[in-house]
Structure 1
Amino acid sequence: MKFGEFMTRLGREEVRHVFLLAGEEHYYIDRAWKEILRRLFPEQNDPKDAVQILPGDIDPDDLVGLLETMPFFAEKNVLLVRNAALFRARHGDSAEKKTAGKDKKTERLIEVLHDMPPFSYVVFVSPDKPDKRRRIYKAVEAGGMVLEAEAVKAWNIQEWLQDKLRAMHRTMDRDAYLYFHGAVSMMQQISLEFLDQEFDKLALFTAERQITRRDLARVFAGLPEVSVFALMDAISERDGRKALMLLRRQLEDGTYFTVILALLTRHVRQLWQAAVLQAKGIRGKALAKPLELNPFIAEKLGRAASGFKEETLKQSMLELADADYQMKTGQAGSEMLEHVVIRLCARV
């Protein structure tokens, strides 16, 4: 189940004895683990000492032994299995032969997971997508809870945003909403920890219930890739004067040319992809999935792409590749970036 449903059920239902927290998004896994601990040890501020941390390749028989062992100095026996290998997909006959001996041990573990001792709890954590066909996965799903912590990208960050706004008791106006998704789409890597902290700061310093674009601009002002956001917008609008002014301002403010170059290359590539897709009849919000962008941002990018000739975008990509080499080897300066911006914004 997704994070929101997982946390809701965890808060409402009796705590299960088996959990699987699987996926790439560590932010969700960490929050889920902390909430599990809070539910298991409501009166302890730091219950970590009450947890046994085990390696992911632990022998299933050893795990069974630990689960069936009564705790000596506590009421609960809580085990955390990190990087659990038991849920990974197997490939081919050779893999089956190698694991044949382990299967009997795994079957014994599955039996215990179906009928857990009342004093034991086990949390499996895996960075991999689990193989849902495996019997051990089905055992955890049937008697416990499974969190699918899918990596958060620009196109699927909406769930996180809505949960965060709900927790803050705030809303966003349309301009703020579009600005947020546009800013996030510029991030090469999305850190939910960072966004979480910045929204918490915003809640402290903004008394209004509705968050505005201006509020968010203050939050993201320190991020180079987001501060370049206005430059990309000017290029999309083919406003050459504004784009050159913003480019020079970025360079004067100390933004590394490599950051600008990488983001400009990404933006031109997305415009080119959008142009090709639209030529095939894929338009509007339907561009979101192939471009891996929020639907509103994809639609906006599509409108911008319609104003460019495909040949212009192709030549700009080639010039950016050349600029990357020449600027890194000291053979040219920021004038190469200016040249690309002029080419993109020229209305010919």
Structure 2
Amino acid sequence: MNYADFMASLARGELPHVFLLAGEEPYYIVRAEEAILRRLLPDESERADALVRYEEMPPMPALAESLETIPFFTEKNVVLVHGASLFGGGKKKEAAEESDAPAQKDTNADALCELLADLPLSTYAVFTLHAKPDKRKKIYKAVEKSGRILESEALRPWTIEPWLNARLREMGRAMHPRARAFFLNITGMMQTVSLEFLDRQLEKLMLYTDEKTFTEDDLRAAFSEMPEVSVFALMDAVNARDCARALTLLARCMADGVHFTVLLALLTRNTRQLWQAKRLLARGTPLRGLGAAMKLNPFIGEKLGRSAQGFRESTLESVMLVLADADYLMKTGQAGEELLEDAVIRLCKS
């Protein structure tokens, strides 16, 4: 069950007695855990007696005792287990399969299955795992059958907008189209998207301005310390064919520790998108239709198209070849970062 469906399900009817919150995006796991605890134990003062918390998978006897304990001072007994490794896969499982020794992990899983199938009516178990669970396991299927599972998949830059829309609604704010395009461009340049980090940046924006609509200037101020902002500014300068500014920003990115492979990949993607936009325009695609054709935000697509109009197709094609050579030469140690400078100069001057 994805995050939106999972959170909606918490507001409907009675809750199951077993939950598994697992996946590569910790942001969703933490928020789901908080929501479950608010529903089960709305009075936080009650948690001291009703909540048993483990920060890693405990020994099975200890877990069994916690799950089978009947509460005395509260109506519920909630057992929260972080790092529930029994639900994951990995090298230990492979080693156990190759060995003739009994698979201790499978034995524990079987024991847990029996416990979860016969929980006291007052007991609720919540397991979290910051990794993909192994859906083939008996314990996973047991929770899937009688409980509820959150699949917390990592977000990618091209899937970030629904999260942004939902978060803005929660905050009671809006985002100007130019600010939205800036945000999507920045996240598009991230190697990994951390929702926790982005959430903090949006919270910072609320402290920065009382306006109901965030502007591009607001976002630039809040995100100013991110290396991705310099990278975005570099691509902007390249697309504007401002050679002096582009070279200055390239030097700043390298000084900030942005690895050459990241810069190379982003320059290649940017050049490929310019070339694609150029060809689409030549075939009659209108500027406002580029976003849909290229699967980009409409504003970003239109802006990219306007930039593409200033480049010759032959220049974009030749720079793509230069960047392909640079990838090989830089990775094999036959050349250095000067190849990035050469590509920027070719783009801006040709």
**Interval containing the TM-score (normalised by the shorter chain):** 0.7 to 0.9
| Counterpart position of 2:53 | 52
Q: Determine the C-alpha separation between the residues in 1 that align with 2:63 and 2:338.
A: 63
Q: Determine the C-alpha separation between the residues in 2 that align with 1:325 and 1:297.
A: 38
Determine what percentage of the aligned residue pairs are the same residue: 38
| Counterpart position of 2:22 | 22
| Counterpart position of 1:86 | 86
Deviations along 1:297-321, whole A, 9 cap, x unmatched?
9967986599454442231354477
**Alpha-carbon offset, residue 344 of structure 1:** 2.5
Q: Which runs of 5+ in 2 are unaligned?
A: 280-289
| Counterpart position of 2:194 | 191
Q: 2:323 aligns with which of 306, 311, 316?
A: 316
**Residue range with higher mean Cα deviation, 75-84 or 25-34:** 75-84
**Alpha-carbon offset, residue 23 of structure 1:** 0.7
**Alpha-carbon offset, residue 53 of structure 1:** 0.6
**Alpha-carbon offset, residue 210 of structure 1:** 2.7
Q: Which runs of 5+ in 1 are unaligned?
A: 289-293
Q: Determine the C-alpha separation between the residues in 2 that align with 1:286 and 1:112.
A: 53
**2:138 paired with 1:135:** yes
**Alpha-carbon offset, residue 224 of structure 1:** 2.3
CA contact (8 A) 2:233 2:249 kept: no
CA gap of 1:46–1:318, structure 2 versus 1, over 3 A, is: farther
Q: Determine the C-alpha separation between the residues in 1 that align with 2:99 and 2:130.
A: 22
**Residue range with higher mean Cα deviation, 96-105 or 25-34:** 96-105
Q: 1:174 aligns with which of 177, 180, 183?
A: 177
Q: 1:342 aligns with which of 342, 345, 348?
A: 345
**Alpha-carbon offset, residue 70 of structure 1:** 2.0
**Alpha-carbon offset, residue 232 of structure 1:** 0.6
| Counterpart position of 2:267 | 268
CA contact (8 A) 1:51 1:79 kept: yes
CA contact (8 A) 1:80 1:123 kept: yes
| Counterpart position of 1:222 | 225
Deviations along 1:12-45, whole A, 9 cap, x unmatched?
4434321101111111112222222222322216
**Alpha-carbon offset, residue 91 of structure 1:** 6.3
Letter matched to residue 224 of structure 1: P
CA gap of 1:320–1:104, structure 2 versus 1, over 3 A, is: closer
Which SS does the other structure have where 2:182 is aligned?
Answer: helix
Q: CA RMSD in A?
A: 4.1
Q: Determine the C-alpha separation between the residues in 1 that align with 2:235 and 2:261.
A: 12
**Residue range with higher mean Cα deviation, 312-321 or 138-147:** 312-321
| Matched pairs, number | 330
Q: Determine the C-alpha separation between the residues in 1 that align with 2:119 and 2:125.
A: 9
**Residue range with higher mean Cα deviation, 70-79 or 131-140:** 70-79
**Alpha-carbon offset, residue 162 of structure 1:** 1.6
